[in-house]
């Protein structure tokens, strides 16, 4: 895609960092090999994912999506929905002392203050932060062109080594915060 589109009234960075999303991550239907077939497929599959933001519940979002889909199924067609998992949204307050500790560790290793961004993803962060009643810190070392999760994903070794150093610095900083 060569154009930036999205939710009206929201900047590109706001849409990327702070807004919920719905993505089609897979479609399987009909004849996909070389050549032409004139047969209408009997079945089709669609895979959806959703990026949640604070105050959204995965079960509520799934129920709303399911209702939206069911309302659009034409007569004579069947819809079967299988939920494959759900992870709640997590957000660590940028003004938390632990975030300050991470920022100091990053600045010490990279020689400049970090730029705070928000990212979508999935994992145990929400449950971990909720159960431990502690913020979850991310010390990212990836670069925008690392093509994360793509077939040609890469890791810049200098970034990785600096990340290891920054992790050590973070432990020292956290110890100071906890004193």
The per-residue pLDDT for range 96-135, each reduced to its tens digit, is: 999 999 999 999 999 999 988 887 777 888 899 989 998 8
User: Is residue 66 in some structural domain?
Assistant: yes
- pLDDT, residue 1, reads 60
Contact 25, 58 (CB under 8 A): no
- pLDDT, residue 122, reads 76
d(CA 3, CA 74): 33
- pLDDT, residue 4, reads 80
Residues spanned by the domain of 158:
97-178
d(CA 136, CA 40): 49
Asked whether residue 9 falls in the same domain as residue 32, the answer is: yes
**Who's near 128: CB < 8 A, 6+ residues apart?**
136
Q: What is the mean pLDDT of residues 14-41?
A: 89
Asked whether residue 57 falls in the same domain as residue 116, the answer is: no
- pLDDT, residue 46, reads 94
- pLDDT, residue 62, reads 96
- pLDDT, residue 138, reads 84
Confidence of residue 34 (pLDDT cuts 50, 70, 90): very high
pLDDT single digits (tens) 52-82: 998 899 999 999 999 999 999 999 999 999 9
- pLDDT, residue 70, reads 96
Contact 65, 21 (CB under 8 A): no
Mean of the per-residue pLDDT values for the chain?
91
Least confident of 2-6, 14-18, 163-167, 170-174: 2-6
d(CA 39, CA 103): 58
Contact 9, 18 (CB under 8 A): no
Q: What is the mean pLDDT of residues 133-153?
A: 88
- pLDDT, residue 29, reads 92
Asked whether residue 124 falls in the same domain as residue 72, the answer is: no
- pLDDT, residue 179, reads 81
What is this structure's pTM? 0.77
What backbone phi and psi angles, to 5 degrees, belong to 23? Answer: -125, 140
The HSE-up count of residue 81 (CA atoms within 13 Å, CB side) is 14
User: Is residue 92 in some structural domain?
Assistant: no
d(CA 121, CA 47): 16
User: Is residue 160 in some structural domain?
Assistant: yes
Domain boundary among 34, 63, 87: 87
Query: What size, in residues, is the chain?
Result: 179
Asked whether residue 6 falls in the same domain as residue 79, the answer is: yes
Domain boundary among 44, 60, 87: 87
Domain boundary among 30, 58, 87: 87
Asked whether residue 16 falls in the same domain as residue 74, the answer is: yes
d(CA 89, CA 54): 6
User: Is residue 12 in some structural domain?
Assistant: yes
The pLDDT of residue 140 is above 90:
no
User: Is residue 58 in some structural domain?
Assistant: yes
Asked whether residue 62 falls in the same domain as residue 137, the answer is: no
User: Is residue 117 in some structural domain?
Assistant: yes
Asked whether residue 69 falls in the same domain as residue 135, the answer is: no
**Who's near 120: CB < 8 A, 6+ residues apart?**
21, 51
- Of 75, 24, 69, 72, nearest to 50 (Cα)? 24
Number of domains in the chain: 2
Region of 2 (left: φ > 0; alpha: ψ -120 to 50; beta: rest) is alpha
- Of 92, 177, 101, nearest to 134 (Cα)? 92
């Amino acid at each position: 895609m060569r154009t930036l589109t999205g939710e009206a009234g929201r900047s590109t960075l706001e849409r990327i960092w702070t807004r919920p999303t719905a993505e089609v991550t897979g479609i399987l239907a009909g004849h996909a090999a070389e050549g032409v077939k004139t047969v209408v497929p009997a079945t089709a599959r669609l895979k959806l994912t959703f990026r949640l933001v604070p105050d959204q519940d995965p079960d509520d979002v799934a129920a709303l999506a399911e209702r939206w889909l069911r309302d659009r199924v034409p007569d004579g067609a069947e819809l079967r929905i299988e939920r494959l998992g759900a992870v709640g949204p997590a957000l660590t307050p940028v003004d938390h002392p632990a975030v300050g500790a991470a920022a100091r560790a990053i600045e010490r290793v990279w020689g400049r203050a970090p730029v705070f961004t928000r990212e979508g993803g999935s994992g145990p962060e929400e449950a971990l932060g909720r159960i431990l009643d502690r913020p979850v810190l991310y010390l990212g070392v990836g670069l925008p062109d690392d093509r994360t999760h793509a077939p040609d994903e890469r890791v810049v070794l200098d970034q990785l080594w600096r990340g290891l150093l920054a992790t050590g610095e973070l432990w020292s900083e956290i110890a100071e915060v906890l004193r």
